[in-house]
Chains A and B, each alone.
Chain A
Amino acid sequence: MGSSHHLLVFLMFLHYAVGFTYNCVKILPDSSSSIVVEVGKNFTATCHLLEGCAYTSDDIEWRLGNDSIAKQSYHRINETSVSVTINISSDMNAWLKCTAPKESLSYKPKIIYGIFLRAGYPPLKPKNLSCIAVQEDKDISPNLSCSWDPGSRNPLIDTTYTVYANVPGTVLTHKADCKQHLARFCVVNLETFPIHMVLKVWVEVKNALGSERSELQSDSSYFAKPNPPLNVQVLTEDKFPTSLVVTWKHPIDRTILKLSYAIRYRKVTSNVWIEVPESFTRGYIESFRLQSLEPYTQYVVQMRCIGESNSSYWSNWSPSVTERTTEAKPASAPDLWRIIRPTSNSRNVTLIWKAPVKANGKIRFYNLSINQNNEKFESHNITADNLSQMYSMELPAGKMASIEITAYNSAGESPKATLSIPRSDKELPGVKDMSWSVRDEKLQVKWTAVLPLPHPLKLSEYLLEWVKIPQSVHQKELPAGWQRVPKNVTVTTLNAGLEKFKRYNISVYPIYKYQPGHVWHFQPGRPVTRPAYVQQGPPKEGPTVTVTKSKKNSAELTWEETPLDSHQGFIIHYTIFYAIGNTKQWKSETVGPNVHSYVLTDLASETDYVVYVMASTEAGSVKGTDCTFKTMKYGDGEVEVIVVVVCLSFLFLTVFIIMICLRKREVIKKLLWPQVPDPSDSSIAHWSPDFPIKADLPKEDVSVVEVDVFDGKSLCEEDKGVLPLKKDKYLSEEHSSGIGGSSCMSSPRHSVSDSDEGDSGQTTSSTVQYSTVLGSGYKGQTPSHQPPAFARSESTQPLLDCEEHPDHLNESQSRSSYFRRGRELEPGVLAPECDGGSLTFCPVQEEEPSPVAEEPPASALCYMPQKSGYRPQ
């Protein structure tokens, strides 16, 4: 009991806290579902307070969604009713609420009532209703496909489209509900297509705001769409090269739908269809002959059908059938042209031709007839082959030729084409002021008309020739293309498929005609030729530059012109870029298109440079390969100048030294050749060359100096030990000693020397002859087997320069000879040194004092045997 009381109190509190909604209010109009309202229209709702409600109309508040509606839209009807009018917008899908808000702590319960508004549009009337029933097998399908334009406005609310169909007068009506939103297509099943009946079809569109309907009523055949004609065939007929027979089968029985047919055809090479007038195919026919066609031409034929008197839809076009008409004789002559290349004493003429424009068949062969100087020269049947439609011949410069060519196909021969080639000196005048320009990626050529020529020559036409440069070596291509234009035309566009970036030589020839007999002859005039590009591009490759001369401050560059095929346009200039090493500080020089060498100046000496040449066309540029070079250290002649200066300096120095030497010759002389005492003038020695020279003496170069030792004087103590050793070396068994021994006058030079090894090293010029005393007794010793003899020595040992007083020399002049030139002692040769002792010898012959001792004849030398001067051993 207590718990239930508490629960009741709690519920009351909850009720008070949350608010109590008492349904004493109602909105009119009311609906259990949403109320559909039309966009753009005003909608008025009235809020009624029911009897017993604690509120009055003044307490009523209208809310749309969560927003309050302005009070100005309220219309107070009475104490219990308030209406509101709102304008419906397309996005207004919300609750419209009538409420009286509960005041805080008020005892009045809260009241609220709402209706849901859904905005929308009434349906639009479907437009362009059309229904179609296609043919199925041999009947018309009962499925009627209808389509219409529902309009672009979205109704925003559920809208249904329903298609109805019935045969007027019958009760049965077929219908189809179209499920799609904004349906524009629907299929209604009629179960049986009402053939030859009136059919009424309508589409009804409905929604909550209204309905609309579009209707069609017509004979049922107007809804039918037959299949295309069956089994369409195109047949050719021999001997009728200008016609084709088209046959077909009716796609549907005439009792269901009687059809009429349409035929169209076109050339395979054309996209333009030619339709046979419907009046020609109006009947219920199954064949038709196409006429006035071109022979040997492929035609594409299509057919379609429609109910008689356009009483149905057109069928689709039948699949294309292609057939070729049969051949007829060529209706036009071949297009003959020639290319003349002068040779040394003749002309090489290449005849080229195109098949007749109206060949009317496959050309089998050409008959080419050539006359030279009005005499038949040669005639050939040339098989028609696209690859070899040309003929070359030699035509002497002094001869004229007339060429005729005829084309043949299986049906006959073509008219003749003629062309005359005059003698080299008989060329007819050409056009003037020819120029070209590019329009729509084609070449437009313009020229000035030729002046009229005297009778019988008449201007027939102009011929424009184009030749790709450089010419292709491809044998299959014609060497040139050409195009003929009427004589009254001076501007034309070349209809050739000229390649981009390729150079062409465009020539304009006036073609003259004359009629020497019954046949017109055609002779071209002198051509005017210009190179041209249909589109220029940047060169494919840049020139390769080489440095031909590199100097101290300049360098000469040379580059070859790149192949013409790689130009891709007219070279407008070359630009030379050069920079030092890797500095990338490029400098440039621009030269004309015909310049292929250039001298760069103001370069730094002994510096590495990088250079390249860029070739430019109007469409762009491309650089060539880099080339590096180094400038020279010296300029031209600098080295020569330095060499000359150095040489001259050396020369002057030499002369200067020589001058000094000459001027100081005595001093030098004394320095180089000190004064040698003259033994002949020695007073302490005598030279007695009394002994004859023995002829059978051995020729060993032994120098023996007999030194006549002054009495009372002896050799130094060292000599005592040395002498025997030296004696062993001498060939003379008795004794051998160097001459010119020490003057014993405190001279530093050795006066006597002997050396075996010194022989070969002595030069003739410096050889001082020494005497050898052979087999002579010495100091009273008697030689055992041979008398003493003198032999000449080539020793270079300088003679002792006697420092003794000249008086002594003079005194002993008769007994001894002396040498004016002294020599240093050979190394390794022990020279006896005399301390105060003196050796005396006697010269055989006194020589003139000379800086260089001449080699005296052996016989002229005579040395006196040494009789004294040595101490007894």
Chain B
Amino acid sequence: MNCHVMNMVCLSQRSQAKFRIILPILILIAVELVHPTMSCKNEKCSQLLHRSLKLTRLMSKRSADLLETYKASQGDSADLICDMQMDNVPVSTISGQTMSERILSVYTHLKEFLPHMKTVMEQQKDLNPPINPVVEGLHSMITHVHHIAQRVNCILQILQPNIPIPEPAERSTGIPPAQNIFQQKAYGCIVLSRLQELLSQAVQEQKSLKGKMCKQRTKNGSL
């Protein structure tokens, strides 16, 4: 009986010891998976902001170019389709009062735009030859917007290190239901137009961080 008890105790102790070792590893893995922001620590604040701003500025410029390319590839009614109104497309307006709120708004909007861009790319693949400048530009743009979002996330981590960054809900704005070709063209144009507006505002928002964010951090002794 004792022996059984002893065995049970022993087994219990061994299991606890193993759990103590494995648990931090699991937590670490979970954190790594949930928080793709560990790389932010590898860059200095100013460097981060500088590169983020450069990338956002580049994408702002490229989104404008892409929009022109898109319009050129949609035929004569390009201007007309871009003037249409659609509710399902996320707005490009940056909201918030503080720097952190506005940057968070930028981050949220960027994340919201990504599924729409993917939808437009898929639609364009169907409407045009699979490999065309619009599709290529959109593919590249999606990657770069991902990268901008990552940079902005890092900025947010610097701006509000103790507050978790809320991830936008998957398909929060909703992908529009089945559309005809005209609607698809209009949808794509509106997405790109609003994305261009969003990136322009993102540039402005990040510019506004210059001289404030990293200075504050330096004073705090973090960096």
Chain A residues within CB distance 8 Å of chain B: 167-171, 191-192, 194-198, 217, 219, 253, 255-256
- B93 CB within 8 Å of chain A: no
Tell me whether A255 and B143 are in contact (CB under 8 A): no
Question: Which chain A residues border B54 with CB–CB below 8 Å?
Answer: 196, 255
B residues less than 8 Å from A196 (CB atoms): 51-52, 54-55, 58, 147, 151
**7 tightest A-B CB contacts, nearest first:** A168-B39, A255-B58, A196-B55, A192-B143, A169-B39, A196-B51, A169-B36
Interface residues on B, range: 20 to 34
- Decide if A198 touches B42 in the complex (CB within 8 Å): yes
11 A-B pairs besides A169-B36, A171-B36, A196-B52 with CB distance below 8 A are A167-B150, A170-B36, A170-B147, A194-B147, A196-B51, A196-B55, A197-B55, A197-B147, A198-B42, A217-B42, A253-B58
The answer to whether the Cβ of B57 comes within 8 Å of any Cβ in the partner chain is yes
Query: A192-B139, A196-B54 known; A170 and B150 CB under 8 Å?
Result: yes
Closest-by-CB residue of A relative to B38 is A169
A194, B58: Cβ atoms closer than 8 Å: no
16 example contacts (A-B, Cβ-Cβ < 8 A) are as follows A170-B36, A170-B147, A171-B36, A191-B139, A191-B143, A194-B143, A195-B55, A196-B52, A196-B54, A196-B55, A196-B147, A196-B151, A198-B39, A198-B43, A217-B42, A255-B54
B213 to chain A, nearest CB (A): 17
- Against A, the Cβ 8 Å flags (1 = close, 0 = not) of B33-50 are 000111110110000000
B212 on interface, CB distance cutoff 8 Å: no
Interface secondary structure of A, over-half rule: loop
Proximity string of chain B (57-78) to chain A, C-beta cutoff 8 Å, 1 when within and 0 when not:
1100100000000000000000
B140 proximal to A (CB < 8 A): yes
Cα distance, A219 to B43, chains bound together (Å): 10
Point out the residues of chain B lying under 8 angstroms from A255, CB to CB.
Answer: 54, 57-58, 61
Whole-angstrom distance between the Cβ of B138 and the nearest chain A Cβ: 11
Report if B146 contacts A (CB, 8 A): yes
Q: Roughly how many angstroms separate A217 CA and B144 CA in the complex, as a whole number?
A: 19
Closest to B142 in A: A192
For B36, the chain A residues whose CB sits under 8 A away are 169-171
Which of chain A's residues have a CB closer than 8 A to the CB of B43? 198
- CB-nearest residue of chain B relative to A219? B51
Interface contact B58-A195, CB-CB below 8 Å:
yes
Which residues of chain B are within 8 angstroms of A256 by Cβ–Cβ distance? 58
Given contacts A196-B51, A197-B51, contact A170 B146 (CB under 8 A): yes
Report chain A residues within 8 Å CB of B147: 167, 170, 194-197
A592 to B68, CA, bound (A): 98
Q: Is the CB of A168 within 8 A of B144?
A: no
Q: State in angstroms the CA–CA spacing of A171 and B61 once bound together.
A: 26
Residues from chain A with a CB closer than 8 A to the CB of B139 are: 191-192
Interface centre among B54, B143, B146 (most CB of A within 10 A): B143
B55 contacts across to A, CB distance below 8 A: 195-197
**Which of A171, A196, A217 gathers most chain B CB within 10 Å?**
A196
| Cβ 8 A contact of A195, one of B37, B38, B144 | B144
A253 to B54 CA separation, bound complex (whole angstroms): 11
Measured CB to CB, the closest approach of chain B to A284, in angstroms, equals 13
A195 to B38, CA, bound (A): 19
| Complex: A167 Cα to B42 Cα, angstroms | 12
Question: Are A169's CB and B58's CB within 8 A?
Answer: no
- Which single residue of chain A is at the shortest CB-CB distance from B37? A169
B51 near A169 with CB under 8 A, answer: no
Look across to chain A and name the residue whose beta carbon is closest to the beta carbon of B154: A169
- The answer to whether B40 touches A169, judged by C-beta atoms less than 8 angstroms apart, is yes
How many angstroms from the CA of A192 to the CA of B141 in the assembled complex? 9
Please name the residue on chain B nearest to A190 by beta carbon.
B143
CA distance A226 to B143 in the complex (A): 21
Residues of A within 8 A of B144 (CB): 192, 195
Contacts of B42 in A (CB 8 A): 168, 198, 217
Give the docked Cα–Cα distance between A167 and B140 (Å).
14
Tell me the minimal C-beta distance from A639 to chain B in angstroms: 118
Mask for B134-166, Cβ within 8 A of A = 1, else 0? 000001100110110011000000000000000
CB distance from B141 to the nearest CB of A (A): 9
Chain B residues whose CB sits within 8 angstroms of the CB of A219 once the complex forms: 51
CB-CB < 8 A to A198: which residues of B? 39, 42-43
> With A196-B54, A198-B39 as given contacts, are A169 and B143 in contact (CB-CB < 8 Å)?
no
Q: Which residue of B lies closest to A197 (CB)?
A: B147
CB contacts under 8 Å to A, within B150-209, are 150-151
CA distance A77 to B54 in the complex (A): 72
For B52, list chain A residues within 8 Å (CB). 196
Q: How far is the CA of A741 from the CA of B2 in the complex (A)?
A: 211
Q: Please, which residues of chain A bring their CB within 8 A of the CB of B58?
A: 195-196, 253, 255-256
| Given A192-B144, A196-B55, A198-B43, residue A169 in contact with residue B61 (CB < 8 A) | no
